[in-house]
Each structure stands twice: as structure tokens, then as C-alpha cells.
Structure 1
Amino acid sequence: MSSPSELGVAVVTGASSGIGKTYAQQLARRGHDLVLVARDRARLEALAAELRAATGRAVEVLPADLGRAEEVEALAARIESDPAITLLVNNAGMGTERNVVGADPAPTLAMVELNVVALTRLSLAAASAFSRRGRGALVNIASVVAFLADTLTGAYAGTKAFVLAFTQSLHNELKGGPVRVQAVLPGLTRTEFFDRAGLDASQLPANMMMSAEDLVAAALRGLDLGEVITIPSLRDLGKWEALEAARLALGPELSLDSPAERYRAA
């Protein structure tokens, strides 16, 4: 049996495939012990066996459906009570990229429960527990579609915009303390996401599609660098900084005692 990791235990949700599986692999190689969370026990067990053999790290499998409130609460309780946990990667999510007006609302509401409600509950558990322990990091997987809601249909982009804004707010509350917070905004990534969302990835330009391995390596490097927002494919960081500066420049005019001139009666 391996000795406990000096880096602590990383909890990775949605760990059975894609970005979550890749986080588990790379974090184990970095020296973290792991708790792997997803619905598919067989896949989790296979991954855990692979990681134990390859890295010698301790890997626990925790099957859970994070679309169910009671299972989210059970995981939150584990994060809050286990002092060995030092990292949470909130990766579990789903997408329903289709028109929603007049359609069955159930898939959209299920997506909001997973992408927003579960992520929020687990983030709060981690942020509070890590603050008490004096160490820890929270990584929330958002998406570049947070910037592109007016080009898409459905609510997926809205859920990811929430993840971005919520992570920024958490950082504002926690800055200067021992807890690191990061939102990762992947672009198109080669995973099973497209099949599950009913999309044909083969119709997308190959030069827009990043491997999960490159994405996660970049995201972890961004975490090492202390980035709050990591956009792995963005070459010119100045564009993000300019966007943030333009947003903040709105501040003095967002709340005044009279309407703008264009809204006044002639």
C-alpha cells in the first residue's frame, strides 16, 4: 500500500471518461491520491486499477449520480469531513445543444441540476473545508461557450456562463487566503461529450479540436501559474485582459440616478 500523498487527495467528478479521466491520470502522475466520482462503476474500477499500477497512488472509486440531490450531499459531506482532500475538480456535466422552446423541459432542467446546482454545492463544500484547513484548490470546468450564448441554442452556454461568474465571485471572496480557485474554459475537445449531446464531432474543423491530454496539461499549468481563468487555446492573453478591462470600465455607468439620454422622451 502506498503512503499518503504529500499533495493530498484530489476528488475528480465525471472521472470515468474524457476530461475527467484525463485529470485523474495527470493528477496521479503528479503524485495526488484520488477519489474518482462518476455513475459508471465499471469504468471507474478499470481506471483506478490502471492508475494504481502505473503510479502507485491510492485511488478510491466512489460511484455517484450527481444529478441526484442526495448523492451530491453525500459527496459534499465527504469533502467537508475528510482532511486529506486538498483538491476538487468539478468536471461532471452534460450538454443539450438543441432548441428548447416548446420542447420537453426535463433534459434542460436535468442539465441545470448537474452543471449548476451540483457544481455549486460541491464548490461551497470545498471552499469552506479548504478554508478551515488552510490549504486546497477548487477547479471548475466551464467552457468557452460562456462567451458565445448568442450563437447557440438551449441553456448549455448559460450554465457555463454561471460557472465562470460563480468562480470569479468565489475568487473575490477567497483572494488573499490559502485557497486557490480556477475556472477552466475548454474549447472543442476530443471526448465522448459530442456523442452524448447528440452532435457529430466529425463535422467540426480538426484545427479547432484539442486533445483532452493537451487541455488538461495546459489547465494544470494555469493552476500552477495562479490563473483564476484559464483558456487553454487562447494565444494572445491580452485579448482576455482587454475584455476584462472593457467590462470593468462599464462600472461607473451601471448604476446611476437617471436613465441614459437615449431612453428619455423627446
Structure 2
Amino acid sequence: MSTQPTVLITGASSGIGATYAERFARRGHDLVLVARDKARLDALATRLRDEAKVAVDVLQADLTEPADLAAVEARLRDDARIGILINNAGIAQSGGFLQQSAPGIDQLLSLNVTALTRLAAAVAPRFAQSGSGAIVNVGSVVGFAPEFGMSIYGATKAFVLFLSQGLNLELAPKGVHVQAVLPAATRTEIWGRAGIDVNTLSEVMEVGELVDAALVGFDRRELVTIPPLHVAERWDALDQTRQALLADIRQAHAAERYRAQS
């Protein structure tokens, strides 16, 4: 049994989640793997137990189903061994806003926003009380790039970034690390599930490279990790500009340009 904190990973049956599981297992962490596909989870768990000699629990759950989501929340609240949450489960958007259906919108919001938020909320009080723990929220660069044409998906990922920044302000003083990981296009099954051929995309990162970079950011205790961003100063400049804006928007009166002309 590992003396390091157990890591609970959502969307762990393939892609980014499965790769996180492999990397943390190599580091000697026990795991709780969460996803819908139990057969794939079981296969991954068996392999990691054999290769890394760590304990691996499988928790089959569809996080868009209230009962399944509640079961994972309970595990996060009650299992004191869990010290890291990797909030990775999510789905992409196929087509523009005009092509979206009501059920499709509900599913996107339910998994990308509601489930992620509720899982973080389930574990945060315990982490804050213990003065330790980490929450990693997997977002996307689409969250600040409406030009990419995935309006609902991008909005959910903008939420993930904002939530992570807000949680950091609240939880960092209590000893809890929060990280938002913002990938660009990465070679995972999320594209096929959205009806998109990943081979038609340009500049696609391999999933191992993405997760390895994210873990470098995790070890450095970064708040925002953008693996494909080569010029880190551009993000720093954007964030500094945003913070400078705060003083400008705390005003009791409308800006001159919005006042009625005499």
C-alpha cells in the first residue's frame, strides 16, 4: 500500500485520464479510476497493479447520472486516503451552435460543468480541513478562443478556467493546490465521439506528451498550465492585463462614452 495520497481520476478508461493513471502509478500512488466503461477500467487496473505494484480501485460511473455522480462524491468525501482529484471527464461538441440539440446541450453542461464542479465541491472541504490536497481541472485552450467555433464546449471550458482561478484564491491559503490544465488539440477518443476525424486536424499533440507536460506544471505548483504555449509571457501578459482591469471596472458611474449626449 502506498504512503502517498491516493489519486481519483475521472474519465480514466482512455486518453488523458488513462495516461494520468499510468503516470501516477509509476510515481507510486494508489488509484481510484472512474469512467463508464468498466471492462476497460478493469483492464487498465489489472495492468497497473502488475506493472507498478499499486492498489487500484475501479468505480464505474456515468457522471451525467445523478446516482452515479452522488456515489463518486461520497467516495471523495469519505475516503481520507484520496489526496488528489483529477477532474478529467468531459465531452466535445460536434457542429456549431445552430446544430446543437437540447439533449446534447444538457449533456455537455452536465459533464463538463456540473459534474466537475460537484466533485471539486465534494472534496474541497476535507482538503481544506487537512491543509493539503490537490484539485486538477482539465479545461481547454478553446475556453479563451471563441474563434475556434465550439461555442458551448468553449463556454464550459471557460467555466473550468474561471472556477479554477476562483478556487485557487479560496483554497491556496488553506494549503490546497488547484491547477487548470488547458490542452489544445490532443490525440484522444473525444474527437471520434464527437464525430470529428482527428486526422483532419493540424498540430495535434500526443496524449503522453500532454500529460507529462501537465505534470511538470503540477510539480511546479502552477495554477494554469498550457502545454502547447511556447511563449509563457503571453499568458502572463494577458493575466496581468486582466488584473489591471479590475481597478477600472470598480466604478460608481458609467464611462463617459456611455453617457447621453446633450
TM-score bracket for this pair, using the shorter chain length: over 0.9
- Aligned pairs for 1:231-246 (under 5 A) are 231-246=226-241
Select which of 96, 110, 117 maps to 2:114. 117
The counterpart of 2:207, out of the listed 189, 192, 212, is 212
1:81 equivalent in structure 2: 78
- Paired residues for 1:7-156 under 5 Å: 7-101=4-98, 103-156=100-153
The aligned length equals: 261
- Give, in whole Å, the separation in 1 of the partners of 2:120 and 2:4: 19
Match of 2:255 among 254, 260, 265: 260
**Structure 1 vs Structure 2 CA RMSD:** 1.2
Q: Kindly indicate whether the alpha-carbon contact (under 8 Å) linking 1:83 and 1:133 is maintained by their aligned counterparts in 2.
A: no
Corresponding position of 2:185: 188
Is 1:249 aligned to residue 238 of structure 2? no
- CA shift, 1:234, in A, is 1.1
Pair 1:199 & 2:196 matched: yes
Secondary structure of residue in 2 paired with 1:5: coil
In structure 1, C-alpha distance between the alignment counterparts of 2:214 and 2:100, rounded to whole Å: 36
> How much has 1:97 moved relative to structure 2?
3.0
CA distance in 1, matches of 2:180, 2:100: 31
TM-score, normalising length: structure 1? 0.95
Distance in 1, Cα, partners of 2:151 & 2:248: 31
- How far apart, in 2, do the equivalents of 1:72 and 1:250 lie? 38
- 1:176 corresponds to which residue? 173
CA distance in 2, matches of 1:32, 1:109: 34
Deviation of 1:102 (Å): 6.6
Residues 97 and 156 in structure 1, CA contact (< 8 A), matched pair in contact too: no
- Paired residue secondary structure (1:36): strand
Q: Whole-Å Cα distance in 2 between the matches of residues 41 and 214 of structure 1?
A: 26
Q: Give SS of 1:186's match.
A: coil
Superposed CA deviations along residues 176-229 of structure 1, whole A, max 9, x for unmatched, are: 222111000011101111101111211112xx2111111111111101101010
Deviation at 1:78, TM superposition (A): 0.8
Contact 1:97 1:154 in 2 (8 A): no
Contact 2:187 2:205 in 1 (8 A): yes
Q: CA deviation at 1:71?
A: 1.2
- Return structure 1 stretches of 4+ with deviation > 4 angstroms: none
SS for the counterpart of 1:175 is helix
> Is structure 2 residue 180 aligned with structure 1 residue 157?
no
SS of corresponding position for 1:62? strand
3-state SS of 2:24 partner: helix
Q: Report the TM-score when normalising by structure 2.
A: 0.96
Given candidates 215, 229, 238, the residue that maps to 2:224 is 229
SS in structure 2 at match of 1:138: strand
